[in-house]
Amino acid sequence: MSWESPLSERIRPQSLDELIGQDHLKPLLKRFTEDGLLPSLIFWGPPGVGKTTLARILAQSCKKPFYELSAIQAGVKEVREVIQRGQGMFKPVLFIDEIHRFSKSQQDALLGAVEKGTITLIGATTENPSFELIPALLSRCQVYVLKSFGPAELRTMLQRALAHDSKLKNSGIALIEDEAIIGLSGGDGRKLLNLLSLVADTYAGNAAITNELVMAVAQQFNSRYDKNGEQHYDIISAFIKSMRGSDPNATVYWLARMIHAGEDPVFIARRMLILASEDIGNANPTAMIMAQNCMQAIQQVGMPEGRIILSQTAIYLACSAKSNASYMAIEQALEDAKNHGDAEVPLHLRNGVTRLMKEMGYGKNYQYAHEFEQNFIDQEFLPDAVKGTAYFNPGNNARENEMRRFLAARWKGKYGYEA
């Protein structure tokens, strides 16, 4: 392994005996390696806890060919190529990282090979497989939960790296304090080793690793996109604001940043669906249809092809007319609902389903709009407490100007609508 490889690769365990952590699984996994009978597995756990390492160790110990795919980059074509290559072999292991990113059709492509025993599937996921995997595939796999590393395990990992990595053991680096580096890792072994490597590279030569030094390095290089961290929220915010601001160029740039970082495409599509209603609304009702179709298509197609669908939809939304009138209407109405939550429904709007209700005036004097010219009759639909309140104020765009003219012609100035 070259020094240019990440530290986590250079000291990756090669056997279960070398593996740090996951003691609750080791006896069972050791039995698999001893028997050489490896079932299809799903490893579910947070990032950096050894899911990939375990898959490689199991395949190597059972003397099975090992193929590795990332669900972010691979599609049905790549899955079928691996299955084809595995024909005639002794049940090769196909490891799929972030298998929850696979769409239904991509998971379906795996099902036949798993069923027939053509491959042994090992999937890694940070999401609950009960929600993310199709039942037919999930029922053919055993699910094992991996735990985050505790402080003692992370400390062992640091000591092993400093003692055994060919680069670090000759670097003159000494670990004086480890509270900061362990705390910043959040139980993620990969993050821990990346930070250790970063500190070592920043302070090449003799250096004592202290909490202060680690914090200084971490703050200086804290620009990495983290799906659970500040960058995640900053970039999705920039993406949304670029679409709201009708800038397709900035929109597609921030979209690319998220895709490159491995953001969940369904999360991106969901945010675009919200924007289609909140920031476009009735200025262009087709925007919501586009966004909804995008989310469905992403779930069916998956990545990497889904990037094109995301791009098309994001550019469409950025170039659409904008209006937040629907958003503002419900916000004001919610405020009035809170302040006037006990306002009575006018009698003529109530549902007189029994004789007693009818005798009490429920539904009396209600006028059925379809019996009148243009399917409209001027009657009161709001309770007295908020009578005459205009919650919907149409935006200045072609479609909502048409709505304004429609409302002005019928309500004759009641709500302040002017043609």
pTM of the model: 0.56
Among 3.40.50.300, 3.40.630.40, 3.90.1150.10, 3.30.9.60, name the CATH number for the domain at 22-145.
3.40.50.300
Q: Return the residue matching tokens 């580096």.
A: 181
The domain locations on the chain are 22-145, 151-220, 242-318, 336-411
The span from the CA of 122 to the CA of 31, in Å, is 17
Tell me the CATH number for domain 242-318.
1.20.272.10
Tell me the CATH number for domain 151-220.
1.10.8.60
CATH superfamily, with its number, for domain 336-411 = DNA polymerase III clamp loader subunits, C-terminal domain (1.10.3710.10)
The packing angle between helices 306-318 and 248-261, to 10°, is 150
- Per-residue tens of pLDDT for the chain, all 419 residues: 444 678 888 999 999 999 999 999 999 999 988 887 899 999 999 889 999 999 999 999 998 899 999 887 787 888 888 888 777 677 889 999 989 888 888 888 888 889 888 899 999 998 889 888 999 999 999 999 999 999 999 999 999 999 988 888 877 788 899 998 998 888 899 989 988 988 888 776 667 888 888 888 876 654 445 555 556 677 888 899 999 999 889 899 999 988 887 788 888 999 999 999 999 999 999 999 999 999 999 888 888 888 999 999 999 999 999 999 999 999 988 888 888 877 888 888 888 878 888 888 888 888 888 888 988 888 888 888 888 888 888 989 898 888 888 888 888 888 888 87
Phi then psi for 302, rounded to 5 degrees? 75, -170
Q: Do domains 242-318 and 336-411 have the same CATH topology?
A: no
The span from the CA of 332 to the CA of 108, in Å, is 47
- Look at residue 2 in the predicted model and tell me its pLDDT: 43
Q: Tell me, what amino acid is at 218?
A: A
Beta-carbon contacts of 280 under 8 Å, excluding residues fewer than 6 positions away, are 287, 288, 317, 320, 321, 322, 323
The span from the CA of 68 to the CA of 79, in Å, is 10
